[in-house]
Amino acid sequence: MSLIECRDLTRTYTRGSEKITPLDGLHLDIERGGFVALMGPSGSGKTTLLNLLAGIDRPTRGSLLIDGRPVHTLSRNALAEWRSEAVGYVFQLYNLVPVLTAYENVELPLLLHSLSRKERHQKVAAALDLVGIADRSDHYPRQLSGGQEQRVAIARAIVTDPTLILADEPTGDLDRESATNIMDLLKRLNTELGRTIVMVTHDPKTTVWCDTVLHLEKGKLADSNADDSSGTESHNQTMTEISS
Amino acid sequence: MRRLPFEYAVRNLGRSPSRLLMSAGGCGLVVLLAMAAGGFVSGMQDSLKISGSPRNVILMGAGSEESVERSEIPMRTPGIAATGIRGIAIAAGVEAISPEVHLAIPIQLQTETESPTEENEANALFRGITPSAFLVHQEARLTEGRFPETGADEVAIGRLAARGLGLEGEDRILGSTLVVDERPFTIVGVIDADGGVIEGEIWIPLSDLLIIGQRDTLSCVVIRTTDGDLTSAHGFAATRLDLELVATRESDYYASLAAFFKPIRFMVMITAILVAAGGVIGGLNTTYAAFASRVREIGTLQTLGYSRLAIVRSLVEESILTASIGALVAAAIGILVLDQVTIRFSMGVFGIQIGPGVVALGLLGGLTLGIVGAVIPAIRCLRLPVPEALRSS
Amino acid sequence: MSRNTHLLLGLSALFITLNGCDQGGGDTTASNDVGPTRATIPAAFFTTDRPTEVVDLIQIKPTASVGDSVVFLARVGGRVEPFVDGLAIFTVADPSLLSCELMGDEDHCPLPWDYCCEDPNGITAGSATIRLNGSAGTPIAANAEGAGGLEPLKFVIVEGVVNERNDEGLFVIDATEIWVGGKPMRGMPRRGSLAGEENEGASTGDTDAGEHDHGDGVAHDHDGDGKPDH
């Protein structure tokens, strides 16, 4: 069974008298453990799809099952609870809370769970260690570089051990080297920890880390590339390109 | 509901020191104003409430029941009352009957450094008395100095009246000179009266005040009864129609004065509420601006799984903290600066009273400001859909 | 201070109550009548037979001397509180004085019986104090309001003896008999002063009923502390 099942997934907004449908009857299955890139021009519906997968937006029509759960039927509060358990979200601009340290930022989602301080500490330390930023845990976001901030943001996204990691242009605001490191990190999370990752990107170079690239156009799936075996190779090639 | 850590609210205070200063300062001003208004009302009310004894009866002119200053009764009244009224208290072998003249007169203070000018002229309430006044007004005590002597151009001054003239400390009060109609009077005594209206008065020998006021009538006669029963006094007033008197229980007289000044207290409170409302609106704007600048962060917290209620709660905590800073500073200023600041009114002088109740009112006002000032902007900010909030810069 | 005041009030109230209890049904002429055994005004003070040939108060006041027996017509009032709570003393004013309800507009003054629109000296000159004394020769310890139908603004004919007077306005009458009439109306300032007009302008039926009760001798249930001094 697929981790994500979209059926006739549609999202329509009304702006004044105008109706906009960024996502229009999408059918899509994403397998557990996949690393999927969502690509497409502006307004193609990729961010809308990501928001629906994250449970921060709700479809106008259609159904969305994630890990067997009918997300489209959940109430606002149930969605919030579900998000805190099932979804890790990585933002383009990191969205760290500036008044909290790296450690506290990563701890933030854990406060929604019934955990002891010690358990939280263990999880936060492990997450920070995994993203390689443990030595800066007491730094505030303003004391970190963009790449470091994004690492903290990734640690925050994985610290609750979610089923699904969603990333909205995670390298969009980073220099090449940082971008490569972040993509490496995401790939590690995908391959070593088996996390399912869905990533919106404009940068074709980042897709080489992914095993599936979905192209969206006018709210529908335009094309797909599902080449699991070539993922690592492509990755290596592109890394060389980026480095040079 | 899982809460956002309290530290989050605390640290948010430090995001913009200037905004914190503005919000806390604004709240502090509103609290200070509320305390000033509350202190004014409570000072005026308490000064009248604790004035007058239920055992005392005031005989004053019929038709002048609302103001003893307007009352005029014949000079012979005390003698006739002494024989006509039963149950008059006797202290030290003397009947407790105090013939009095109450007059508001402009005075000027003359000190070593200050000579009398028109600018420092102020209206003061004089009570012309005989020594028996202390038998009747038992709350009044000469705490410093002595009783003024008749014909020696001497007065005793209530502690609040002295403070109202800028005289603090016995050394400064005793020996100071008040100029009344170009005639200097030396202050030889200081009167305490447990905060009652007497503390706002200047006591002067009766015959001296009769001369100053160029009058041959008394304002009233105050009599202390043995048991607080005024029947005989009422009967006396209804019988001695030639004296044109009414008998009023002294405590009732001041209670009716308190009722008379109710509209003033009401106006003060209304003004304070209106200004505070202005402060709330200003505060709402500031808070909204503060929260609006964090819309993306609020969206992020929602994405992480925090409920809207948890976020509102955290924002309210933050706002309450800000308001509390302002309110506490204001309360401290209120206690240190406003308390016992003297206010003149037609009854004499009273002190703004920043008591526990008024401080509680101020702090409660600050708390309300913190809550109301945050809930509305917080809800407005949270109304934005999460995807839109995340897109905002 | 506030606590002290309350204490003082409480003690005073206690004292008054105890004092009232001590008196029991004894000396009803004492001024301190507060307590459960309040005295009543003997109905014998009141008559329903209007004396004839009666002059106005103002006509006898300047010439009457202490000890003289007098009969005059006046109206209850002349002060804010014409009746004294706890003492059978009330004030009356001469019919020539204009009480406020007889003037222009309605609700001219809150208390029409204080004659506030008249000259104060005129009120003093035209007023008298009526005392209803008990056996001790001092006023009965009861409010006279309501007794025999007495109420502010009503005409009364007082028969009694001059107890005190002076030229400044003091005029105290120890009443022996009182006829209670009705109230005048605007434009009819003498209405209520004649026999048969007792019910004119009466504010409540209760008072009238009381008046008649006394008149027909039914309500004579007083404490029997003595008849008025005729």
Q: B160, B145, B162: which is closest to B111 by C-alpha?
A: B162
SS3 assignment, position A118: helix
What pLDDT, on the 0 to 100 scale, is given for residue B3?
A: 83
Q: Which residues of A touch B302 (CB under 8 A)?
A: 56, 80
With 0-12 CB in 10 A as exposed, 13-18 as middle and 19+ as buried, what is C168? Answer: middle
φ, ψ of residue C35 to 5 degrees: the values are: 150, 175
B268 touches chain A (CB under 8 A): no
pLDDT, residue A27, reads: 92
Q: Does residue B7 belong to the interface with chain A, where contact is any CB pair within 8 Å? A: yes
Range name among B213-217, C91-95, C116-120 with the lowest pLDDT average: C116-120
| Contact B/A (≥3 CB pairs under 8 Å) | yes
Q: What is the mean pLDDT of residues B342-369?
A: 83
Measure C72 CA to nearest chain B CA, in Å.
18
Summarised one tens digit per residue, pLDDT across range B169-195 is 777 888 889 998 888 999 999 999 887
| DSSP state letter for A54 | H
Burial of residue B274 (number of CB atoms within 10 Å: 0-12, 13-18, 19+): exposed
C65 in any annotated domain = yes
Q: How many domains, chain C?
A: 1
Q: How far apart are CA B274 and CA B269, in angstroms?
A: 9
Average pLDDT (B49-71) is: 87
Determine the distance from the C-alpha atom of residue B329 to the mean position of all C-alpha atoms in its chain, rounded to a whole number. Answer: 21
Cβ-proximal residues to B137 (8 Å cutoff; 6+ apart), any chain: B53, B56, B98, B193, B198, B222
Are B51 and B197 in contact by the 8 Å Cβ rule? The answer is yes
Confidence of residue B206 (pLDDT cuts 50, 70, 90): very high
pLDDT band at B117; cut points 50, 70, 90:
low
Q: Which two tokens stand for residue C195?
A: 């026999």
**pLDDT tops 70 at residue A181:** yes
Strand partners, B98: B222
pLDDT band at C75 (very low <50, low <70, confident <90, very high): very high
Both structure tokens of C60: 């006898």
Residue in C31, C164, C171 nearest the CB of B86: C31
Q: Which domain holds residue C136?
A: 3-29+44-194
The first and second tokens of residue B65, run together, are: 């029941």
Residue of A nearest to B1 (CA): A112
Length of chain B: 393
CB within 8 A of C168, min separation 6: which ones? B242, B243, C124
| pLDDT number for residue B232 | 93
Contact B241 C85 (CB under 8 A): no
Closest CA to C157 of C65, C31, C54, C5: C54
Contact A136, A101 (CB under 8 A): no
Q: What is the mean pLDDT of chain A?
A: 87
Is the residue at C109 inside a domain? Answer: yes
- ipTM of the complex, rounded to two decimals: 0.87
Residue B249 and residue B57 in contact, taking contact as beta carbons nearer than 8 Å: yes
Nearest partner of C80 among C119, C124, C118, C110, judged by Cα: C110
d(CA A148, CA C134): 106
The mean predicted confidence, pLDDT, of chain C is: 74
Diameter of chain A measured on Cα atoms: 54
Name chain B's partners: 3 or more CB pairs within 8 A: A, C
Q: Is the pLDDT of residue A229 over 50?
A: no
Q: Which of A107-111, B28-32, C102-106 has the lowest mean pLDDT?
A: C102-106
Which residue in the set B12, B14, B302 is minimally distant from A80, CB to CB?
B302
Q: What is the pLDDT of residue B115?
A: 66
Name the closest residue on chain A to residue B9, using Cα atoms: A99
Summarize pLDDT for C152-199 with one digit per residue, the tens.
Answer: 999 999 999 999 999 999 999 999 999 999 998 888 888 888 877 777
Tell whether C19 is covered by a domain.
yes
Owner of token pair 């995994």? A130
Are B340 and B352 within 8 A, CB to CB?
yes
- CA A100 to CA A105: how far, in whole Å? 6
Which residue in C31, C129, C165, C167 has the most chain B C-beta atoms within 10 A of its own C-beta, making it the best mutation to test that interface? C31
For chain B, list the strands marked E by DSSP: 56-61, 73-74, 90-91, 94-95, 97-110, 121-129, 141-145, 154-158, 177-180, 183-192, 201-205, 217-218, 220-224, 245-249, 342-345, 348-351
Q: What is the pLDDT of residue A223?
A: 55
Residue B347 pLDDT level (bands cut at 50, 70, 90): low
Q: Is the pLDDT of residue C25 over 60?
A: no
Is residue B385 less than 8 Å (CB to CB) from chain A? yes
* Residue among A170, A35, A175, A27 at smallest CA distance from A95: A170
Asked whether residue C24 carries a pLDDT value surpassing 90, the answer given is no
Inter-chain touch B65–C80, beta carbons under 8 Å: yes
Chain C interface disruption, residue of B49, B242, B246, most C CBs within 10 A: B242
Q: Do B3 and A111 touch (CB under 8 A)?
A: yes
Q: What's the confidence (pLDDT) of residue C2?
A: 40
- pLDDT digit string (tens) for B70-109? 899 999 999 999 999 999 999 888 999 999 999 988 888 8
The neighbouring-strand residues paired with B250 are: none
Q: Is C215 within a domain?
A: no
Yes or no: say if A28 and A65 are a contact pair by the CB < 8 Å rule: no
Q: Is residue C211 part of a domain?
A: no
What is the Cα A202 distance to its own chain's centre? 14
Q: How far is CA C169 from CA A30, B217, C62, C173, in A?
A: 112, 17, 9, 13
CATH of residue C101: 2.40.50.200
Cβ contacts of B110 within 8 Å, gap of 6 or more = B116, B176, B177, B178, B179, B184
Nearest to B387 among A57, A83, A111 (CB): A57
For residue A86, pLDDT beyond 70: yes
CA distances from C63 to C58, C59, C75 (A): 10, 8, 20
H/E stretch holding A13 reads: strand A4-15
Give me the residues paired with residue B74 across strands: B217
pLDDT tens, residue by residue, B222-272: 999 999 899 999 999 999 999 999 999 999 988 888 887 888 888 888 988
Could you tell me if residue C133 is inside a domain? yes
C84 to chain B, minimum CA–CA distance in Å?
6
In a domain? residue C225: no
Best interface-test mutation with B: which of A112, A149, A150 has the largest number of B CBs within 10 A?
A112
The stretch A20-43 carries a mean pLDDT of 92
Q: What is the pTM of this model?
A: 0.66
Q: Work out the minimum CA distance from C49 to partner chain B, whole angstroms.
A: 27
Given pLDDT bands bounded at 50, 70 and 90, which one contains residue B353? confident
Q: Is residue C230 part of a domain?
A: no
**Which among B180, B65, B34 has a CA at the least distance from the CA of B121?**
B180
